[in-house]
Copies of this chain bind each other. A is one copy, B any other.
Amino acid sequence: MARRLAIVGGDAAGMSAASTAKRRDPDLEVVAFERGPYTSYSACGIPYYVGGLFDDSDRLISRSPDEHRANGIVLHARTEVVGIDLAARTLAVRDHQTGDEHGEDFDELVLATGAEAVPPPIPGADASEPVRTVDAAERFRAALRRGGEHHHVVVIGGGYIGIEMAEALVQRDIPTTLVEALPQLMSTLDADMAAHVQDAAEGIGVRVLVGTAVEEVLLDDEGAPRAVRVDGETIDADHVVMATGVKPAVGLAKDAGIELGASGAVAVDDHQRCPAHDGVYAAGDCAESWHRLLRKPVNIQLGTHANKQGRIAGANATGGDLAFPGVIGTAVSRICRYEVARTGLSEREAAAAGIEVVAATVKDRTRAGYFPGVGPIWVKLLCEPGTGRLLGGQVVGVEGAAKRIDVLATCVWTGLTVAEIELLDLGYAPPYSGVYDPVLVAARAAVKALR
C-alpha cells in the first residue's frame, strides 16, 4: 500500500510541503487538512483587499483547493485536525460542514498549523475583528459597505499590519484611529526610524495614539463594539480591528506530546524535523527558526520563511536532505508614502541580547535630485564595535527604498564589515540614487562612527 503523508494546515507552509512531496514522489499519498475554506492565501494582501485595491478576494489565493487537487493532493478544506496520536499514527479529524469526526492514518506528518491571534486581556476585546484570514476580510469588507457613511474605526496595535489596515481604511475615507500601547509604532524598528513611519501615517490622516493603553472595548446591546476607552478618552468605533500580537498555534502539537521550544513554537532541527518524533515535521508560523545572529531559535511569522520551510519539510519527508539555513529577521512593508524595511538586529534587540553595537544613520535621496519621484531615504546601520561587521540595517523612504534591505541582508548573512560594504561594486544611475548609493553612504557613516 502507498505510504501516506498527512499535512495539518493548508496555507503557505503546509501546501508548499504537500506540493514538494507530491512532485518528488508522485506515488506518495499526500493528504492535507485545512479548517478554513481557502488554501495558500496571502495574508499579506489582506489590507490591500480591505482598502479596495482589488475587489475579488480570489486574488488573495495563490492556489485554490481545486488547483491542489489537480496536482494529485487530497485536500480536505473546512476540515480540522483535532487530535494527533503519534504512537498509533492517526489523526482525529472533524468535518466542519457535517460536524462528523473520524480518524485518518499517516506515515509521515507535517505540522503547519500557523499562528493565531491573541486577544489582549481587555474587556470586550473578543468582539473585535482580527482580519487575519480571507473569510474574515470578506466579512469585514461587507460590514464596511453595509454601514453607510458614519464609520469610525479603531485599530488596536501599531505593528505593520495595524498600520496597513489603518491606511486601507482612511483610503476608503473612513476616519480611523490607530492605538498602540508602546511609545512608538513598528516596534521592529528603532524609535528614530519608526518616527518617520508615524509621520507618514499621520500625513494621510490616520489619528495615531502611541503610548496609549486600551482599557476596554465598549459594546452595544447586541454585543457589537460601539466605542473604545483608552487613557482618558472614549473613542466612538463601529468597528474595532485587533492587530495586536499573534502566537504560534501549537495546541495540537502540545497535546500530542510534541516538544515546544523556549519561543513557544514547535522545536525543529535544521531539517524541519521534530527531533524526538521520527517522520514528524513542522514548518511555518507554528515552528521555530534558527536566528543566525542571536544563535538561538526564534519564532518569526512570515510567509517567506513558511514557504521555504514547507518546501524543505516536504523534500525531507520524501527522502530529501535539505537544511534551512536560518533567518536574520528581514522584513519589508509599504506604509503610506514610505517603504519600510529591516534586517538583522535592531538597537533594541541587540541591547536585549547583550550585544554591543555601533549605530549610524544617514538621510539621503532615492534618485538624482532632478529625477521625478525623488524623495528621502533614511538608512540606519548597526555594526559590531572593533570589527565593523554589519549586524543590522533599517531603511525608510519613498519608492525604491525598501528593497535596499536585501543588499544589507546579504551583507549581514555573509558577515561583511561596513568598511567592505563602503567599497562594494553596486549599480549607479540617476534614476536610482546619487553617485553613491544610500547603502554605501550609510556604510561610510558607520566606518566613521566606528573610529
Question: Which residues on A are within 8 Å of B, measured CB to CB?
Answer: 12, 42, 44-45, 48, 53-54, 59, 62, 302-305, 307-308, 324-334, 339, 341, 343, 368-372, 399-400, 402-407, 409-411, 413-414, 416, 420, 423-432, 434-437, 439
Contacts and interface: CB of A to CB of B under 8 A. Distances in A.
Contacts of A436: 304, 307
Nearest to A309: B423
Contact of A435 (B303, B328, B399, B403): B303
Copy count, this protein chain = 2
Residue from A339, A369, A403, A428 having most chain B Cβ neighbours under 10 A: A403
A384 to B, nearest CB: 17
Residue from A44, A341, A424 having most chain B Cβ neighbours under 10 A: A424
A370 B53 contact: yes
B403 A425 contact: no
24 contacts: A42-B430, A44-B430, A45-B370, A48-B430, A302-B428, A304-B427, A304-B436, A308-B423, A325-B420, A330-B426, A332-B428, A333-B429, A334-B432, A341-B427, A399-B399, A402-B429, A405-B427, A406-B424, A406-B426, A409-B426, A409-B427, A410-B424, A413-B425, A414-B414
9 closest Cβ pairs, A-B complex: A332-B427, A304-B428, A414-B414, A410-B410, A54-B370, A59-B370, A334-B431, A406-B426, A330-B425
A334 B371 CA distance: 12
Contacts of A435: 12, 42, 62, 303-304, 307
Residue from A62, A431, A439 having most chain B Cβ neighbours under 10 A: A431
Contacts of A432: 332, 334, 402-403
Contact of A411 (B302, B328, B400, B410): B410
Given A44-B430, A48-B371, A406 B407 contact: yes
